[in-house]
Structure 1
Amino acid sequence: MASDAPHDPPFRADHVGSLLRPAELLKARADRAAGKISVEELRAIEDASIREAVAFQESVGLQSITDGEYRREIFYSDFYFRGLGGGTVAYDPSSIDKIYFIDREGHKLPLLVPRVQARMRWHAPIHVDDFKFLRAATKRTPKITIPSPTIIHFRAGRENISKDAYPDIDLFWEDIVDAFHRELKALADAGCTYVQIDETTLASLSDPRIWEPMRKRGDDAQTLLLDTYPNVMNRAFAGRPAGLQLSMHICRGNNQSHWSAEGSYDLVADTLFNKIDVDSYFLEYDTPRAGSFEPLRLVPKNKTIVLGLVSSKFPELESKDSLKRRIDEASKFIALDRLSISPQCGFASTAPGNKISGADQRDKLALVVEIAKEVWG
């Protein structure tokens, strides 16, 4: 069950996790794909880059430390396809007319669509070695990010989940739930105390524009939003080890400064806050696309909210006054003591990263830390 502890973690100044990849790391990954360097050589460059990312996070004053997701191409692909196996993921040009990413100039990107050809099963710890490396690199709190148990189904649809591998979709869910039980236990056994679930499906299904493409593929969006997906999440998180703080990040898509959905939390708020068993929430709130703070009135007193008020998508630096006004506005619906602040998402959910500079990234994270000190002391 969700803990009674209001904070620590998440911290008053926190962040979602992914960071812009350094040019050397991007080149090394391309060189590895072309067969120019070995797995070991790529690993050494990843290790060095992660150590630098840790030092960077510490230097701006963050207390939760991630590996920047530097070992991943896409925020969810390592967990599912390197870890569980059974499929692949690729851009689907046909999605441009259905569910797609869009930026503020109106440019569109196709969706990354998973295709499941075989059973997706947990065979060994997926992110435990990542955690151990991270823990050895910092004296602060290491955080591991894991994609939501619903992401593959939402993005693939039944049409892209093999009926030979999964004649009954319940078997697919059983494999996913089992993987989460085993991975969360393995992380806790290794000493991990802070895990963040990156969840994009609930916010996406809160956008009515997405309902019709879902209907055409044979899914009822409202049933998935309020019943199927919350139930799968609770099954996946049930029985997690005591002492493992579980946060859930709610996102409307983040790919090279594009997003894929818009809409308030109103439709899903009661289900999200009162029926899904996690300890805290990182909520995207950087633009009007997320609606008002009013749904925060439904958050139970044993859960906390991290307000994602600083954009990781755009280079413009928010003003302190505007951020403090937003926090004050949110505190009308939930006690200030149960709030924190962060960027609204990671800076690089996919390896290319958002269209901002490293200096922008530093300024935004430093701003989050400064605001937290000035608001909460």
Structure 2
Amino acid sequence: MFFSRAEHIGSLKRPCVLLQKRDAFQQGKCSAEELRACEDENIAEVVRMQLDLGLTTVTDGEYRRIIFYDGFFEHLGGLKVLNDPPQNIFQGKLERTGPLYGEAFDFLRKVAGPENVDKLKHTMGSPEWYHFRHGKHTYEPTAYANDDEYFADLAKIYQAEIHDLYVRGCRRIQIDDPILTCFCDESYRQLMEQDGVNAEELFDTYIRVLNGCIQNKPPDLAMGIHLCRGNVKLDRQPFTRGPYDRIAKKLFNDLDFDTYYLEYDTEKAGSFEPLKHLPPAKRVVLGLVSTKIPEVLSSPLNYDCGGGS
């Protein structure tokens, strides 16, 4: 299994020409084929840039997406995009009617070349995304009787998609999961309590859900999880705050992932002390360079890793 010493999390800054083309498409001023051609051209360029820089992690920059979780849920049966939606999100049973990311990965593999396939990483959104945001309104009662049924179907879909990517040659997959960082944040935990939700029980549920999604994965498939703190606020403030201390032990020991991408670019993330819970067979990639600060950081970067981390 290949591990690099330095990585990026996958999403790269979109070129202006691509942003303009996507705006034109949304306004009905260009066709889907024209947008696709623009995406292809810019993905090929950003792949060449990563290879020229000698990076050992190469992605398509998520250039086909508007936001990190695009390309998954909206293509499943059971979900319809409506201008005036009902209260519950999923109206029927979830169904994977075909590959969700296969075509995108095939193009990435083509432009990277066969000699670079081991460097390719595919990213995808987290399975608990809609459930955390919508709770009891995630699905219609006629679709699922309870959360266990809902998550069981979702796990099967993730398993099938991961298997399809593996068959196409992908050996590195990263789940982008901003939800787990909410359990580090006292303000979110208070909101859960106000809604009658036991934060620890919900966290345990999400650990089981994530494990179910990667159940029976091939041994040479590296699975990583990025605990994202968000990058969408106009004031560049993180989506969540708080150290990893509350979740570290369960995160590192109960979750069956190989690699953890942890954001440590602000003091709000706390110390490196929680890393003491990391088992020897797993690894952590520290996010030390911030995408939220426009200034170039001084070099070298010095960090006190604390006791035994």
Corresponding residue number in structure 2 for 1:240? 217
Per-residue CA distance 1:338-372 (angstroms, 9 max, x = gap): xxxxxxxxxxxxxxxxxxxxxxxxxxxxxxxxxxx
Find the aligned partners of 2:245 and 2:80 in 1 and give their Cα distance: 34
Q: Check whether the contact 2:181–2:229 (CA below 8 A) recurs between aligned residues.
A: yes
Pick 1 or 2: higher relative contact order, CA cutoff 8 A, min separation 6.
1
Corresponding residue number in structure 1 for 2:147? 169
Q: Check whether the contact 2:14–2:63 (CA below 8 A) recurs between aligned residues.
A: yes
Find the aligned partners of 1:331 and 1:151 in 2 and give their Cα distance: 33
Q: Secondary structure of the residue that 2:245 maps to in structure 1?
A: coil
Q: How does 1:279-294 map to 2 (within 5 A)?
A: 279-294=258-273
Corresponding residue number in structure 1 for 2:73? 80
- What is the RMSD computed on CA atoms of the aligned residues? 2.1
Q: Check whether the contact 1:281–1:305 (CA below 8 A) recurs between aligned residues.
A: yes
With over 3 angstroms needed to count, the CA separation of the structure-2 counterparts of 1:88 and 1:283, relative to structure 1, is farther
Q: Check whether the contact 1:87–1:118 (CA below 8 A) recurs between aligned residues.
A: no
The answer as to 2:53 corresponding to 1:60 is yes
> With structure 2 as the length reference, what TM-score do the two structures score?
0.90
Per-residue CA distance 1:234-256 (angstroms, 9 max, x = gap): 11111012311111111222215
Question: Of 25, 29, 49, which residue of structure 2 is paired with 1:32?
Answer: 25
Q: Check whether the contact 2:183–2:246 (CA below 8 A) recurs between aligned residues.
A: no
Corresponding residue number in structure 1 for 2:131? 153
Corresponding residue number in structure 1 for 2:243? 264
Residue 188 of structure 1: CA displacement? 0.6
Q: Check whether the contact 1:89–1:115 (CA below 8 A) recurs between aligned residues.
A: no
Find the aligned partners of 1:89 and 1:267 in 2 and give their Cα distance: 38
Q: How does 1:170-185 map to 2 (within 5 A)?
A: 170-185=148-163
Corresponding residue number in structure 2 for 1:15? 8
Q: Check whether the contact 1:87–1:114 (CA below 8 A) recurs between aligned residues.
A: no
Q: Check whether the contact 1:127–1:187 (CA below 8 A) recurs between aligned residues.
A: yes
Structure 1: unaligned runs, 5 residues or longer: 91-112, 335-377
Structure 2: unaligned runs, 5 residues or longer: none
Q: Secondary structure of the residue that 1:116 maps to in structure 2?
A: coil
With over 3 angstroms needed to count, the CA separation of the structure-2 counterparts of 1:114 and 1:163, relative to structure 1, is closer
More strand by share: 1
> With structure 1 as the length reference, what TM-score do the two structures score?
0.75
How many residue pairs align between the two structures? Answer: 300
Find the aligned partners of 1:180 and 1:265 in 2 and give their Cα distance: 26
Corresponding residue number in structure 1 for 2:305? 330
The answer as to 2:104 corresponding to 1:130 is yes
Residue 39 of structure 1: CA displacement? 1.3
Corresponding residue number in structure 1 for 2:254? 275
Residue 88 of structure 1: CA displacement? 4.8
Find the aligned partners of 1:166 and 1:51 in 2 and give their Cα distance: 42
Find the aligned partners of 1:134 and 1:60 in 2 and give their Cα distance: 17
Per-residue CA distance 1:110-158 (angstroms, 9 max, x = gap): xxx9933333322211111111110111143111001122122112222
Corresponding residue number in structure 2 for 1:70? 63
